[in-house]
Amino acid sequence: MNRLKVCVVGAGTMGRGIAQVFAEANCDVLLIDKSKEQLTIAFQYIRKYLSFNYNNTEIEQIIAHISTSEQIDSQIAEYSLIVEAVPENLELKKRIFSEIEPLVPEDTILATNTSQISVTSIASACENTGRVLGMHFSNPPHRMELVEIIRGLKTDENTVDMVVDITKQIGKKPYVVNDVQGFVVSRIAAAVISEGIRILEEGVCDKETLDGIVKTGLNHPMGPLELVDHIGLDIFLMLSSDMFEAYGERFRVSRTLKQYVEAGMLGKKTGEGFYKYA
């Protein structure tokens, strides 16, 4: 079988991890980012994460599978799977898909790594909507096994089957879901985190107790407040505002979350969220 050729658009937190996962699975990867600096940073991260599991020679062999570009152009025609991982913005994603589609053959699969935007809306930028679907890797992609496969309203079943197979081939676990706001994983995470913040607001217990209960009692690797610090409170505020719009009252954004974001307490990345980080 020919080696799979995958193009990843966006080399940020997710794109660089997705590129690493495909390169480790022996695929040829083209990593595109409009920012040269982001591409440089991407390789620093990829080398660091690979160094946990491989020796220097193996690292160089894996890295050799990844080429880069600062623009979307005709060379992407060689790649049979495109995974978009640019920021979470519908108009930007639609623009990227409408740029890509005319450059690739009819059977190229177009996937988005969106966390919660409607795959059907993103696909509407394309002529052939049957080849568009969601391929939602979890963060960090090199460690997390889940890939949520999102079937848009017009996604062909054949496209879904092919991406399920590819996901298994790269050692991940695919789960197929239909296209609703937040799919499954973001929706569940939003519910757990929001309820955790409310429990804290109500003074039921302190933050360490809350996180400890969830980790011990529900077997989650992180408590809700540790998790939101990891995601970034600003990102979570955006996500939960969209959930509120889609599902109403049960996703109303808490006062505490708004206040913390207003205060610039965004979690690990600013050194303080619900916890302090040195």
Ligand X SMILES: NC(=O)c1ccc[n+]([C@@H]2O[C@H](COP(=O)([O-])OP(=O)(O)OC[C@H]3O[C@@H](n4cnc5c(N)ncnc54)[C@H](O)[C@@H]3O)[C@@H](O)[C@H]2O)c1
At residue 73, what is the residue type?
D
**CA-CA-CA-CA torsion sign (131, 11, 39, 171):** negative
Binding span for ligand X by CB under 6 A among 53-61, 74-82, 109-117, 265-273:
109-117
Can you tell me which residue has the tokens 């197929």? Answer: 176
Number of residues that bind ligand X (CB under 6 A): 22
- Binding mask 24-43 toward ligand X (x if CB under 6 A, else -) reads --------xxxx--x-----
- 50 vs 96 by CB, closer to ligand X: 96
Among 6, 7, 8, 9, binds ligand X (CB under 6 A): 9
CB-closest chain residue to ligand X? 12
- 108 vs 115 by CB, closer to ligand X: 115
Among 68, 113, 120, 159, binds ligand X (CB under 6 A): 113
Q: Is residue 139 part of the contact set for ligand X (CB under 6 A)? A: yes
Q: Is 93 annotated as a binding residue?
A: yes
Q: Is residue 88 part of the contact set for ligand X (CB under 6 A)? A: yes
Helix (H), strand (E) at residue 216: helix 207-218
Cα–Cα distance, 268 to 191 (Å, whole number) = 21
Q: Is 48 annotated as a binding residue?
A: no
Could you please report the per-residue DSSP string of 217-275?
A: HH--SS-HHHHHHHH-HHHHHHHHHHHHHHHGGGGPPPHHHHHHHHTT--BGGGTBSSS
Query: Buried b / exposed e across 110-136, counting CB within 10 Å, b at 16+?
Result: bbbbbbbbbbbebbbbbeebebbbbbb
Among 68, 80, 114, 159, binds ligand X (CB under 6 A): 114
Residue stretches of the annotated binding site for NAD(+): 10-15, 33, 88, 93, 115, 139, 269
Q: Applying CB under 6 A, which residues contact ligand X?
A: 9-15, 32-35, 38, 85-88, 96, 113-115, 136, 139
